[in-house]
Amino acid sequence: MAEATNNNGSPPATNGGITLEQIQQTIAAAVKPLAEAQAKLTADLDVVARTMAEEAKPAAGAAAGGAGGKKEEAPAGLTLEQVKGLLDERDKKASDSAGRTAFIARTLGKLPTAYQGQLGQDPAKWDAEAKSIQSQFETDAKAMGVKLENLGTPAGDGGKTPAAEKPDLSKIPAFELLHMGVERLPVPTAAVAPAEAAK
């Protein structure tokens, strides 16, 4: 006795069962929105590429026209090397910005933000610029009558701490000296009797 099959050769559904055809239809229905989204994305990328190419043509034509009248076609899109170059440039800028921020914190961190913002973008010139900025700040502060403590140098030494004054122990009561933990107290000299001093 031959078993009944569907058009695709799979057995028909039994009471409450799922056929292979139903599974295929379910998968096709689930994949359809993804395929539509991919087609839309591809179309959008094509529009962007054509727009970039159109914008590049007048600039390329003007450059070529000024250089001898030849018109060169602009590339349709960016090459892998150009994209890599753009990403490398972006990463370098981010690294330079982080290095600049760290340098400012280390050398100009005690100055107002307006002075910190005067530091340029070239790391080779930062030390000289930091010295100039710091001296400009000191000049401006002196012109306003502000007395400045040593703010440190652009090398980041933080300035010199003033030497601590030594306390005058003769003016501190003995019980406070004991409390402070002073090990050697001055020993009072014995009073010389006047009779012995006359001999």
Mean pLDDT of the 164-193 span:
66
Of 85 and 148, more confident: 85
What whole-number distance in Å separates Cα of residue 142 and Cα of residue 10?
A: 95
Question: What whole-number percentage of the chain has pLDDT above 90?
Answer: 2
pLDDT at 72: 55
pLDDT average, residue stretch 124-130: 89
**What mean pLDDT comes out for the span 27-55?**
82
Better-predicted residue by pLDDT, 189 or 158: 189
At 7, the amino acid letter reads: N
Domain positions in the chain are: 19-72, 80-143
Furthest-apart CA pair in the chain: how many Å? 153
Q: Of 40, 51, 58, which is closest to residue 76 (Cα–Cα)? A: 51
What pLDDT does 17 receive?
A: 75
DSSP H/E element including 55: helix 20-66
- What pLDDT is stored for residue 1 in this prediction? 45
CB of 110 within 8 A of CB of 152? yes
pLDDT tens sequence across 81-118: 888 888 888 888 887 788 888 888 888 888 888 888 88
Query: Rounded to 5, what percent of the chain is helix, strand, coil?
Result: 60, 0, 40
Helix 126-143 vs helix 80-107: crossing angle, to nearest 10:
40
